[in-house]
Structure 1
Amino acid sequence: MKRIKQVNESKEMIYKALMDLLLEKNLEDITMTEIAKKAQVVRMTLYRHFKEKEDIILFGFDRNLSKVLDAMKKKENPTLMDLLVLRFKILQESPYTNILAKNHKLDKLFQTIGARNIHHFSDILPKVSTPYENAFIAGGIDTLTKLWIENGMKESYKDIATEVLDIIYRLKVL
């Protein structure tokens, strides 16, 4: 138990150090050595937890996403629209989305959103008959999301969630 606490504290220190450095310079101008020094950890500790700077950002994103998803789980009878709105709201309001997009790490971001957290809501997701259909739907949503982010997230999170749901129903995918 003590080891888990120590690992979590190290990760938090590293995350905070990167966030502080991002106030001063762009991500591409920050080195892992600078992050370790600012966090007051040795580089080996930094690399034990994170392979690259974007992984530190994903750690922060995942931590915040978990809090929001926990609150969503408490909602009575959530719908697919609720999940889509949540997805796009988190992305639009997060300071990390543009940083990850600029550094070509959106695929890692989608893995964080999907694989680690969506299992909480398997009971409200539409049932599809094959894993291929599931992959098709997920891939389509990720591709649309990536395009929306790359186009500057001009539509509100509610509008883009509605667009996704309209496409799904128009194509009679679900």
Structure 2
Amino acid sequence: MAATDHSQQIKQDSRDYLISALLQLLKTKDLNDITVTQVVKKAGVSRMAFYRNFETLNDILIAYFKPKIDSEFTIIINKATPEQKMNALGSFFFELTDTMNLAVKRNYEFIIQNIFNDNIMNFYDTIMNWDHFSAVQRKYWTRFMSAGVYAIWREWLNSGQKESLNDIHTLIADFQFSTLQALKNETN
């Protein structure tokens, strides 16, 4: 058992080193300009260690961002109090600002956006009552809201967060309510 624990720890350490190395390289290079060889060299691990943990460089970024974004949506889905949600979101977005700007600059924003979209679609599937909507309405409304919510957060983060978090939250809630109401009116 001890050997298995040790092996797992070595694998986890390799993952951590690879994540750290790629994030460091992204400070000065675009994702498309970074190679696996550069990452393993910077991480101080073998190529084999890379392929034991990941298939692509994108997988490293997914391993880094997915737990962070997933945990924020868990707070929201678990219906924490509005104050807890706003505090958690405020901290998350404050922390995400530099990362988001770098993701845009270094061409890996699509990874963050895909994780965000998966989470927001799960969010709407979890909290919404879809009884009065068709499968087509559900599918496209959810995709529409996901893209819109992401665009609003992205713009807010990249433009210096001039509006309050509460204002942004209210704006998104207004869009959500009005588009749902329009959809509901369409089915009546």
Shorter-chain TM-score bucket reads: 0.5 to 0.7
After TM superposition, give the deviation of residue 105 of structure 1 in Å. Answer: 4.4
After TM superposition, give the deviation of residue 152 of structure 1 in Å. Answer: 5.8
- Which position in structure 1 is the counterpart of 2:129? 127
Whole-angstrom CA distance in 2 between matches of 1:152 and 1:73? 22
Name the aligned partner's letter for residue 19 of structure 1: L
- What secondary structure does 1:101 align onto? helix
1:153 and 2:161 correspond = no
Name the aligned partner's letter for residue 176 of structure 2: I
- Which position in structure 2 is the counterpart of 1:26? 29
Whole-angstrom CA distance in 2 between matches of 1:127 and 1:117? 15
Pairwise mapping of residues 1-174 of structure 1 onto structure 2 (< 5 A)?
2=5, 4-23=8-27, 25-28=28-31, 29-69=33-73, 76=80, 82=85, 86=89, 90=92, 93-94=95-96, 95-102=98-105, 104-115=107-118, 119=122, 125-129=127-131, 130-148=134-152, 149=154, 153-154=158-159, 155=161, 156=163, 157-171=165-179, 172=181, 173=183
Whole-angstrom CA distance in 2 between matches of 1:70 and 1:167? 22
Change (3 A) 1:128 1:91: farther
After TM superposition, give the deviation of residue 139 of structure 1 in Å. Answer: 1.3
User: Is the 8 Å Cα contact of residues 116 and 150 (structure 2) preserved in structure 1?
Assistant: no
Change (3 A) 1:45 1:17: same
User: Is the 8 Å Cα contact of residues 66 and 117 (structure 1) preserved in structure 2?
Assistant: no
Whole-angstrom CA distance in 2 between matches of 1:91 and 1:135? 27
Q: What is the number of equivalent residue pairs in this alignment? A: 168
**Percent sequence identity over matched residues?**
19
Change (3 A) 1:153 1:131: farther
Change (3 A) 1:10 1:66: farther
Give the TM-score of the pair, scaled to structure 1. Answer: 0.67
After TM superposition, give the deviation of residue 14 of structure 1 in Å. Answer: 0.5
Cα RMSD of the aligned pairs, angstroms, is: 3.9
Between 1:6-15 and 1:128-137, the stretch displaced more is 128-137
After TM superposition, give the deviation of residue 18 of structure 1 in Å. Answer: 1.8
After TM superposition, give the deviation of residue 165 of structure 1 in Å. Answer: 1.2
- More helix as a share of residues: 2
After TM superposition, give the deviation of residue 16 of structure 1 in Å. Answer: 1.2
Give the TM-score of the pair, scaled to structure 2. Answer: 0.63
Stretches of structure 2 that go unaligned for 5 or more consecutive residues are: none
User: Is the 8 Å Cα contact of residues 27 and 99 (structure 1) preserved in structure 2?
Assistant: no
Stretches of structure 1 that go unaligned for 5 or more consecutive residues are: none
Structure with the greater alpha carbon radius of gyration: 2
Change (3 A) 1:75 1:116: closer
Whole-angstrom CA distance in 2 between matches of 1:131 and 1:90? 33
Change (3 A) 1:119 1:110: same
